[in-house]
Amino acid sequence: MRSYLLGEGELLDDKGVLCESGYAYKQVKHYDRAAVKGNKLRIKEWDYYCFGNDRFMIALTVADNSYMSLASVSVLDFKHIRFNTKSKIGLMPKGKLHMPSDCSHGNVLFDKGGVTIGFEIEDDGTRKLKAQYKKFYDKRDFRCEITLDPPHGDNITVVVPFRKKRQFYYNTKVNCLTGSGWFEIGDEHHDLNGGHGVLDWGRGVWPFKNKWYWSSLSCELDDGSSLGLNLGYGFGQPTATENVIFRNGKAHKLGDVTFDIPFTQGQIDYLKPWKMSDSDGRLSIMFYPMIDRKDHMRFFRLMTDQHQVFGKFYGKVTLNDGEIVSINDKVGFAECVRNQW
């Protein structure tokens, strides 16, 4: 696949069509919801943070999908191999959540029916994530506060067209976020010190049916250096991949990747080891699952079938200069998601 490096400027022209597609190592396009033409109920905007350590991870989502809003909290417990996810849904927000137009400025707030999730970005780039969810688990309330250090170095930003000319996906993944925090469920208190995380920032106009694969790793290696992986494919008509190795803040671009997920008796077995490889032989990863954070919902024609699998990464990656970096016993996730939305 030939890759196209994005230039600065507007994301959409005056007809609501992408000015160009491709990738960049920072957000260079200006997104404006008002510039979207066509069916405004197809607009989907979300901020997703996942942060934690080898013991726990917290995932927080706020989304404005035009005909519905979503606020979701997930707690992953790797010691006891369990998770809990709860979501609050609202109807017909149609932009009322005022999701920011770029990933480095603006605040996000969802406050409805006992659920409050807020993402704030301070002037220096520090991020404050706060959430409260009444009766989250066993009638006990959930609370968390997480402080993320200002991001440094490269991210991966992609602009992906779909078949219809006014449909697109504008996405930024910010890996290797560091910080600290805590969460509570009832009177249980847990620290998240020494944590690492990722931001998935997405804005777009999506088709009704879609499927994607995505994997993310953010970690500190034994020598104190940082390493991240962002791997994904399966949707749209991309002119560039989102596949990147992050090493100490610098992006090392990859080509096409493949997730080899095992089958058992003709069915995908998400909890058996996955193999991840790339078209140039620079990625050789085994992913050993621990928790399948699965969610399947159907409402008339609407449907989501999500398998976000958390586990440990082992293997090797090759950087642009030929250096080979080993990965051993590092926690991240990989997912397969199908939507009719």
Taking the complete model, does pTM exceed 0.85, yes or no?
yes
Q: What is the pLDDT of residue 2?
A: 54
* Tens digit of each residue's pLDDT (9 = 90 or more) over 233-248: 999 999 999 999 999 9
Q: What is the pLDDT of residue 298?
A: 82
Tell me the C-alpha distance between 62 and 202, whole Å: 11
Least confident of 80-94, 127-141, 222-236, 298-312: 298-312
Mean pLDDT for the stretch of residues 247-264: 97
The count of other CB atoms within 10 Å of the CB of residue 256 is 13
Residue type, 327: I
The count of other CB atoms within 10 Å of the CB of residue 129 is 23
The DSSP bridge partners found for residue 306 are 295, 337
Is the predicted pLDDT of residue 83 greater than 80, yes or no? Answer: yes
Q: What is the pLDDT of residue 302?
A: 85
Mean pLDDT for the stretch of residues 46-65: 98
Contact 317/245 with Cβ under 8 angstroms?
yes
pLDDT band for 110, please (50, 70, 90 cuts): very high
Q: What is the pLDDT of residue 41?
A: 95
Q: What is the pLDDT of residue 297?
A: 79
Least confident of 255-259, 264-268, 285-289: 264-268
End-to-end CA distance of the chain: 29
Q: Residue 212 has which token pair?
A: 């994607």
Mean pLDDT of the chain: 96
* Tens digit of each residue's pLDDT (9 = 90 or more) over 112-158: 999 999 999 999 999 999 999 999 999 999 999 999 999 999 999 99
**Nearest alpha carbon to residue 104 among 81, 127, 73, 138:** 127
Q: What is the pLDDT of residue 213?
A: 98
**Nearest alpha carbon to residue 64 among 48, 49, 47, 44:** 44
Residue type, 266: G
Tell me the C-alpha distance between 47 and 231, whole Å: 18
Half-sphere exposure of 60 (CA within 13 A, CB side): 26
Domains and CATH numbers, the chain: 39-340 (2.40.370.10)
pLDDT above 70 covers what percent of the chain? 99
* Tens digit of each residue's pLDDT (9 = 90 or more) over 164-222: 999 999 999 999 999 999 999 999 999 998 999 999 999 999 999 999 999 999 999 99
Contact 131/182 with Cβ under 8 angstroms?
no
Q: What is the pLDDT of residue 1?
A: 45
Q: Residue 223 has which token pair?
A: 């020598």
Considering only residues 317 and 39, tell me which one the structure prediction assigns the higher pLDDT. Answer: 317
